[in-house]
């Protein structure tokens, strides 16, 4: 009976995610929201609810070397995926290589994986996801593009320097929040309870705001001329996600909740920023955008199945 109740609770939480996601998409299709209206929620999510959810989770943070290692995992997984994308596209033209390399890597963490962590894993899951995203952010905000452009010839590509990447990172409120909590944790400075209590309503709103926003962003326009390569990249991405998840679950010597959170994060969809950098590298923005949209649909199903299979969140 207790097991059945726990499973029912998990299913209800997962169903809530899917309903909010579907609601955003349906209301856009009905014309209640325009194609660019998601930008308002994006600003709220990036500048308010995501930083608040991270600060709230780090309220009881204790200096933990494992979480610093998770940051390196986020960076390492991205680098591995860029190289895998290069290997799998080595016989293709440079624009296609750029698409493979940039879109095989880079995770959508803040708007997608973070709500799952917040809902199903609690503070330790949010901390784990935030640290993974810190390493991921280095690649999403120019690192993958820089690595790609150093390995293939990018025709008419814009040059992105380390200075440009750092400027973009430190103008990002979530990234600055990650850095702040890391510094506070390293110095063993606790975030005041009064502050975490004050921001709790905004933190609790993150899951709804993020999933509704993702629903508004979703746009499926299947073009037969590009679908084949998109499906190859997504297949490659999810095969690698399964490998990473298995390593996280069965190899890493971390505590169980951290390992489970990482396994779910491994299946996060493609980064939205990836389509911009794909275009800069000479690849097809149409392929990249389609890949992002399909990966969102795939990830919402896979990550839901993952949390149910791992038996967390009740």
Fold of 14-310: Na+/H+ antiporter like fold (1.20.1530)
pLDDT reading at 149 higher than 60: yes
What distances in angstroms separate CA 96 from CA 108, 139, 144, 242, 287, one per listed residue? 22, 19, 15, 24, 10
Do 88 and 236 touch, CB atoms closer than 8 A? yes
Read off the pLDDT band of 76 (50, 70, 90): very high
**What is the average pLDDT score of the chain?**
85
Q: Rounded to whole angstroms, how far apart are CA atoms 199 and 197?
A: 6
* Long-range interactions of 196-204: CB distance < 8 A, separation 24+: 196/55, 196/56, 196/59, 199/52, 199/55, 199/56, 200/52, 200/56, 202/48, 202/49, 202/52, 202/53, 203/49, 203/52, 203/53, 203/55, 203/56, 203/57, 203/118
| Average pLDDT of span 15-19 | 84
3-state secondary structure of 168: helix
pLDDT of residue 121: 85
Q: Which residues pair with 270 in a beta bridge?
A: 107
Domains of the chain, by residue range, sit at 14-310
Write the pLDDT tens digit of every residue in 35-70: 889 889 989 998 999 999 988 888 766 667 888 899
Write the pLDDT tens digit of every residue in 273-312: 877 778 777 777 888 888 888 898 899 889 988 888 886 6
pTM of the full structure: 0.88
pLDDT reading at 186 higher than 90: no
**Terminal Cα-to-Cα distance of the chain (whole angstroms):** 14
| Average pLDDT of span 77-93 | 91
């Amino acid at each position: 009976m207790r097991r059945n109740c726990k499973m029912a609770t998990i299913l209800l939480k997962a169903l809530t995610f899917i309903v909010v996601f579907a609601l955003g998409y349906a209301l856009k299709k009905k014309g209640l929201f325009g194609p660019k209206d998601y930008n308002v929620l994006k600003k709220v999510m990036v500048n308010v609810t995501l930083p608040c959810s991270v600060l709230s989770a780090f309220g009881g943070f204790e200096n933990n070397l494992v979480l610093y290692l998770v940051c390196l995992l986020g960076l390492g997984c991205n680098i591995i995926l860029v190289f895998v994308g290069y290997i799998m596209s080595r016989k293709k033209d440079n624009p296609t290589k750029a698409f493979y390399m940039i879109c095989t890597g880079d995770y959508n963490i803040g708007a997608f994986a973070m709500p799952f962590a917040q809902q199903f894993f609690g503070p330790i899951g949010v901390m784990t996801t935030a640290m993974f995203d810190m390493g991921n952010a280095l690649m999403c905000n120019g690192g993958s593009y820089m690595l790609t452009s150093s390995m293939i010839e990018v025709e008419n590509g814009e040059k992105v320097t380390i200075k440009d990447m750092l400027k973009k990172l430190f103008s990002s409120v979530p990234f600055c929040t990650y850095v702040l909590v890391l510094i506070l944790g390293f110095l063993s400075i606790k975030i005041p309870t009064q502050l975490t209590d004050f921001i709790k309503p905004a933190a609790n709103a993150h899951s709804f705001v993020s999933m509704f926003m993702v629903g508004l962003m979703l746009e499926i326009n299947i073009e037969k001329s590009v679908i084949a390569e998109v499906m190859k990249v997504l297949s490659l991405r999810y095969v690698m996600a399964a490998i990473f998840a298995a390593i996280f679950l069965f190899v890493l010597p971390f505590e169980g909740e951290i390992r489970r959170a990482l396994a779910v994060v491994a299946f996060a969809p493609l980064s939205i920023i990836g389509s911009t950098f794909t275009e800069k590298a000479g690849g097809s923005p149409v392929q990249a955008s389609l890949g992002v949209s399909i990966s969102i649909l795939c990830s919402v199903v896979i990550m839901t199945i993952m949390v149910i299979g791992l038996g967390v969140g009740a």
